[in-house]
Structure 1
Amino acid sequence: MSRSDDVCDGDAMAAYQSFLDQSDAALEHDDFDTFISRILLPQLIIQGSERLIVTSTDEIRHVFHATRHMLATRNIRRRTRLCTNARLTGDGTLIGHHTTWLVTTDNTIDESYRVESHLRQRDGVWCILASSFAGPSDALPGRMHQASLAAQRNTAAHLAHREDSHD
C-alpha cells in the first residue's frame, strides 16, 4: 500500500509491533543511533496527570542510558512488548496500545504495564511522537519519566551556568 490512510487495523498493528521490536532491539544492543532515529522531537510523555515535553537529543540520550542502567540493576533479561491494538487516524497518526513485561534473568515477570503511543512517519519510518502511561511512578515508565525530568533540570542548570559565566 502506498498511502498511509490505506493502512487497515491488521497492518497498523504490524507496523506498531515492528516499531516496538526495533526500538527494543536498539535499547538491548546499546544502539542509540537507531533508538533516536525512531523518535520525533519534541516528544510528549504523559504519566498520570503529569505532562513532560522532551525537546533535545541529549535528554533522550540521558533517558536511554538511565533506562539501560535501571534494567541491568534489576536483573531484567528482556523487555517484551506486545501490541494489543492499533489504528491509523485520518491525519496519518498511528495510535497503538501495548503491554510491556519486564522479564528477569530467572524468567519471572518483574512488572508489567500498558502504554498508549502515537506514531508518525518520517521518511517512511514510524517514529514515536507521544506516549501515555497511567501506572505507578516506580514502574519503569515512571522512572524513565523521572530521568527525563532530571535531564531537563541538568540542561537548564548548564545553560544558566553558561549565561552566568558570560556576564
Structure 2
Amino acid sequence: MARPHHSAFDKKKVVADNRRARFDYAIDEVFEAGIALTGTEVKSLRFGDGSISDSYAEVKNGEVWLVNSHVPEFSHGNRYNHEPRRLRKLLLSSREIRKLHGAVAREGMTLVPLTVYFNSQGRAKVELALAKGRKAHDKREHIKERDWKREQGRILRDRG
C-alpha cells in the first residue's frame, strides 16, 4: 500500500522543525519514518525538547540512521538517561530503504529530516525528505519567486 502524500501525514504534536531545510534543499520526495527511541528520549521529546536543525540521515548496511539530532537528557532520568546526540535508527520498509539508498548513491541526493512529531497514536515520527542541495544562485531565484508570489497575492487581494 502506498504511503500518503506528506501533507496528509497526521501530525498531532510537532516537536522539532527544520525550517532551514526547505530553503537550503530542493525537496523531491517526502517519507514518514518511525524512530527507535529509549524511554527517556520519548519523555524528553514529549516536553517539546529536541532539535534537528543540523541533522541528516544516512543509509548503512540496509538500515537508515538519523545523525546529529539532539534530544536533551531527561531531567528525572538519573542513571538511565540517554546520550543526547546518539545515532537513532529510522524505521522504514525495506522497499523504501532500497529506494532511498539508490537515490543517495546514484543521483547524489541527501536525506534531510524536516520535522519530528507525534502522530495521533502517540508514536514519534520523522518526516524525511529526499532532497538535492541548492546552489547560491538557486537560493536567490527561490527568494525572488517567493517574493513575487507574495506580491501577486497582495495585488489580487487589493483588486478583487
Question: TM-score range, shorter-chain basis?
Answer: 0.3 to 0.5
Higher relative contact order (CA 8 A, sep 6+): 2
Q: TM-score, normalised by structure 2?
A: 0.35
More strand by share: 1
Q: TM-score, normalised by structure 1?
A: 0.34
